[in-house]
Every structure is written in C-alpha cells, then in structure tokens.
Amino acid sequence: MTLDQFNQSLTQAQPPADVHPVLQALWYDANGNWAHAHEIAQSQEGNQPYDHLHAYLHRKEGDRFNANYWYRRAGATFFNGSLDEEWKQLVQNYCRG
C-alpha cells in the first residue's frame, strides 16, 4: 500500500485489513479513535514499533513524561516536529512510495 492509498483509506469505515497492525492503529488515530489505537500499541509492548506508536500516542495525549518512557523503550528520542509530521513518518515506515 502506498502513502496515497493509505491516506485515501482514511475516509472508509474500517482500516485496510491487509496492513501492519501499527498502520491500522495509525488509521484509528487519524479517525479520532485514540483508545483503539492505544489498545493496539499495548497489545505488543516490548516490540519496538509498537512502543514507538505508544510513545506517539502519549505525546498526542499531552503526557510527555509517559511518552518519553515509551520513546526510550522504542530506542528513539522524543520527536521534536509536529504531531502530524510524526504521524506521517510512522505511516511511511509501513507504506511504500
């Protein structure tokens, strides 16, 4: 799936079924369902891609302390760009083109 295809899927009722769960979580987040995205992040704690998702979600929530914990677990540093930029970067990790 390309980034454009993923962005087009945001208007559909459900996320694409054939994409990585982290990408599904980002779809839910973009559609205002932070809680479901968070459940996906929690489902694989200790797995760095999920921990990075977890960090982003807590940053979006406004909980910098908790976000920093998850960034460390993910082996990443606190993202200094906008939330939109971080969301796009995370999506691009799972999209081609």
Q: Could you report the per-residue pLDDT of 33-82, keeping only the tens digit for each?
A: 999 999 999 999 999 999 999 999 999 999 999 999 999 999 999 999 99
Does residue 26 lie in a domain region?
A: yes
Work out the burial of residue 82: count CB atoms within 10 Å of its CB; fewer than 13 is exposed, 13-18 middle, 19 or more buried: exposed
| Residue 97 banded pLDDT, cuts 50, 70, 90 | low
Could you read off the pLDDT of 14-24 as tens digits, one per residue?
A: 999 999 999 99
Does residue 7 lie in a domain region?
A: no
Q: Among all chains, which residue has been given the structure tokens 């489902």?
A: 43
Does residue 97 lie in a domain region?
A: no
State the pLDDT at residue 96: 81
- Please give the tally of structural domains in the chain: 1
For residue 76, the enclosing domain spans 18-92
**Could you report how far apart the first and last alpha carbons of the chain are, in Å?**
8
